[in-house]
Structure 1
Amino acid sequence: MNPKDFEVKRKHHYVWARYLQAWASKKEIHYITKKGLPATESVKGVAKELGFYKITTFNDDDLLYIRTISKLASKDLQQIHEGFLNNFIAISNILKGRAREHQPDTDLVSQILQFNVLEDMHGKIERQAWPMISELRKGNTSLLADIVQKHSFFFYIAQQLVRTKTVRDKSLDASSRHLPQFVTDAMKRNWWFVSFLLGINLGKGLLEVPKERHFLIENKTIKPFITSDRPVVNVHSCMCMTLPDEPPEKLDLYYPLSPTHAYMINDSEDYNHLKEQVTIEDVIHLNKRMAETCGETVYSSTKESILQARQYIPQWKR
C-alpha cells in the first residue's frame, strides 16, 4: 500500500492545477485577487476549497431528490446514474455504521471515505483526459479519432463545466429564489453527487455533437487566451437573451487549453471561422466572455491580460 492512500485529501481543486500550469511561469500564475488587484500565486494555491468534494450520507429524502433529478434523463443515463448512486449508498452505509462506534471527525476511515472518494474520481477523469489535452496543446488532433480518448476528453469537459464553485453557488441561489426551501436544502446536501450526475448527462450530449461542430482553434496573435475559475463557458449568442436563472437553449462551449490553443463544441456555426484563423478581435471577444462568466477571478500568463480582463469581471465591471 502507498502511504498516500492513508492521507486525507481535504484541499480540493475545482479547476485542475495541472491544467492551469499552461499559463504559469515557474509554477506562478497571474490572477485578480478578491480586492481587485493583480497578483501571482502557485497553481496549487488557487481555484480550491476545503472539502469541496466531501461526500455526505444519504437519508430517504436525499435519495428521492436524486432519483427525481435522474428521471429527467433518458433510460440509459438513468441506469448509469443508478450504478454510481448504488456505490455511494454503500459508502453512506459504511459511514453510518462507523459513526455508531467512532467519532466521524477523527476516524481515519470515515475521513478518507468522505474526503477522498469523489476527489479521486475527478482525479481519474483528469488523468484520462490528459493525453488529449497534451496533444491538442501541440496542435495535434489525431487522438480525436480514438473513440476512447475522445469520450474521456468530452466527459472531462462536461464535468469541468458543472463542478466549479460558481456553478454550485449560482444553482443554489437560483433554487433558493424559485423552489421550496426543502428542495434547496436537498440540493445543498447532495450537490456533490448531483453535479456529477449532470456532468454524465452533458458528457453524453457532447459526444452526440456532429464532428464538424467541434474543433481546435489556434491563437497565433500576440494576445494570449486567458482562463478562469470557471474555465468552460457557453459563448452562444443566446446567452445575451437568457435570464440569469434560466438554462440556455443552445451551447457553444469554449474551453481554453493554453494561451495559444482552445477547443470548441458548438451548436451554432457562429465560430466556424476560427477553424481557419483567430484574430486579435476574436481573442478579445473570447477573453471578455471568459471574464464575464467567471466566479471571482481570471488567470493568465501575463499581468497585462488580467488587467485588461478585470473590467469585465462582474464585481469589477465598469
Structure 2
Amino acid sequence: MILKKKQHYVWRQYLRNWSFVDDRIFFIYKSSGEVKATNLDRVAQKRFFYEVDSFTEEQESVLTKLIEQWSNDLSKETNLRLVNIFLTYSKVKRVSDILRIAGKGTRLDIVKKNTLEDLHAVFEKFGDKLISINVLSDISFFLEPAERLKALIYICVQYTRTNQMHSKAVNGLSLFEYFPESALKLIAITFSVTLGSNLALLHKLRITYIKNISNTDFITTDQPIINTKTNFNELLETTELLEFYYPVKPNIAILISTSNADELVELEISLDSEINSYNSLLIKANPDFIFARKKETLFELKNNFSSKQ
C-alpha cells in the first residue's frame, strides 16, 4: 500500500463531468478571483485531509457511546462498524507503543493517513449511477430500495465531507473540543449514514430531474450539494426542512425533497435566468472553488459579481 497524499473532499470522478481535455477543469478560486484551468488532481483536495488522530481509551469509549446514542435502529450497526474502522489506528498505535514493535512506523502511517480516505472511496461507489444519469428513466433506481439507500447515503456523505462543512464544524461545535479534530470527520460520516437511511426508508421523496436546455451551464463548487432550506451563513443550523440540490453535469441537476408520495419528476428549463438562479444557490454557500465546463461561464459569473459590488 502507498500513502494517498492528495485527498479530495469532492469526488474527482464527479468533477470529471465538468472537465475537458486531459482531466483539466476551469475554476475560480475565492482568494484570487482569477479564472484558471488545472488538472483535477489539484483542486478540492488537501494533503492528508482525512488523516486520523490517536485517541485515549476514554475518548474512544465516549466517542463510541455518543455515536451509538445519535444513531437509530436503521444506522446503528453500520455506524458502530465505522467507529471500529476509524479507531483502528489509535488502538494499534497504543498496543505498538506498549510492546515497542520495531518497524511499525511506515505501516502505521499508512493506516493513519489512508483509513478515512479509503472509507470515502467506498461511499463514492454508491454514487456511480447517479453521476452517470442522462435521462429521466436513469433515476428510476430511486424506486428500488437497495439502490435508493446507497444513493441517499452517497448524497448525504458528499454533503457533509467537504472542507467547508468541516471548518464550520470545528468553529461551531464546542462539544468536540474534547476530541481530536479528526473525530468530526467520523461524526460527519455517521450522521450522513443516519440521515441517508432515514430518508431512504422512512420518507416519501420527490426526485426532480432538471434538464437544462438553456444557453447557460450548471456550475458546481467544492460544496456541490446544498440544502436549499438552510441558512447559507449557518450551514450547521438545525432545520426540519430539506431539499437537496445537486448539479450532476453542466446540463443536468437533481432536487431531492420530502413529499407525500414517491415520485420522479422531470423539469425542463430553457431560460438562462432560471439556471442562473440555481447557480446562485451554490455561490451563496460561499465556496472556495467554483467550477464550470467553459471558461466563459466563469467570466460571466465574475462580471456579475463585479457589477453587484
TM range (shorter): 0.7 to 0.9
How far residue 221 of structure 1 moved from its aligned partner, in angstroms, is 0.8
How far residue 131 of structure 1 moved from its aligned partner, in angstroms, is 2.8
Partner of 1:250: 241
1:13 aligns with 2:11: no
Unaligned regions of 5+ residues in structure 2, if any? none
1:35 aligns with 2:32: yes
1:78 aligns with 2:42: no
Q: Give me the whole-angstrom Cα distance separating, in 1, the residues matched to 2:47 and 2:120.
A: 15
Q: Give me the whole-angstrom Cα distance separating, in 2, the residues matched to 1:162 and 1:95.
A: 28
How far residue 107 of structure 1 moved from its aligned partner, in angstroms, is 1.7
Amino acid at match of 2:50: Y
Does structure 1 conserve the Cα–Cα contact (< 8 Å) formed by 2:245 and 2:254? Answer: yes
Write the mapping of 1:192-231 to structure 2, written as runs, cut at 5 A: 192-207=185-200, 208-211=202-205, 213-231=206-224
Q: Give me the whole-angstrom Cα distance separating, in 2, the residues matched to 1:233 and 1:312.
A: 22
Point out the structure with the larger strand share.
2
Partner of 1:162: 160
Q: Give me the whole-angstrom Cα distance separating, in 2, the residues matched to 1:53 and 1:39.
A: 26
Percent identity, aligned pairs only?
A: 21
Q: Give me the whole-angstrom Cα distance separating, in 2, the residues matched to 1:70 and 1:310.
A: 46
Unaligned regions of 5+ residues in structure 1, if any? 1-5
How far residue 114 of structure 1 moved from its aligned partner, in angstroms, is 1.2
Q: Deviations over 1:96-135 (max 9, x none)?
A: 223453689x82211211122221121122123213321x
Does structure 2 conserve the Cα–Cα contact (< 8 Å) formed by 1:31 and 1:306? Answer: yes
Write the mapping of 1:295-314 to structure 2, written as runs, cut at 5 A: 295-310=287-302
How far residue 69 of structure 1 moved from its aligned partner, in angstroms, is 4.7
Q: Give me the whole-angstrom Cα distance separating, in 1, the residues matched to 2:158 and 2:239.
A: 18
Tell me which moved more, 14-23 or 147-156. 147-156
Partner of 1:44: 41
> TM-score, normalization: structure 2?
0.85
**SS of equivalent residue, structure 2 residue 224:** coil
> TM-score, normalization: structure 1?
0.83
Q: Give me the whole-angstrom Cα distance separating, in 2, the residues matched to 1:102 and 1:293.
A: 47
Compute the RMSD of aligned alpha carbons: 2.9
Does structure 2 conserve the Cα–Cα contact (< 8 Å) formed by 1:226 and 1:259? Answer: yes
Tell me which moved more, 108-117 or 145-154. 145-154
Amino acid at match of 1:235: T
Q: Give me the whole-angstrom Cα distance separating, in 2, the residues matched to 1:147 and 1:296.
A: 35
How far residue 198 of structure 1 moved from its aligned partner, in angstroms, is 1.2
Does structure 1 conserve the Cα–Cα contact (< 8 Å) formed by 2:226 and 2:282? Answer: yes
Count residues with an aligned counterpart: 299
Q: Deviations over 1:128-181 (max 9, x none)?
A: 3213321x1354223334332222221111100000000000111112xxx36x
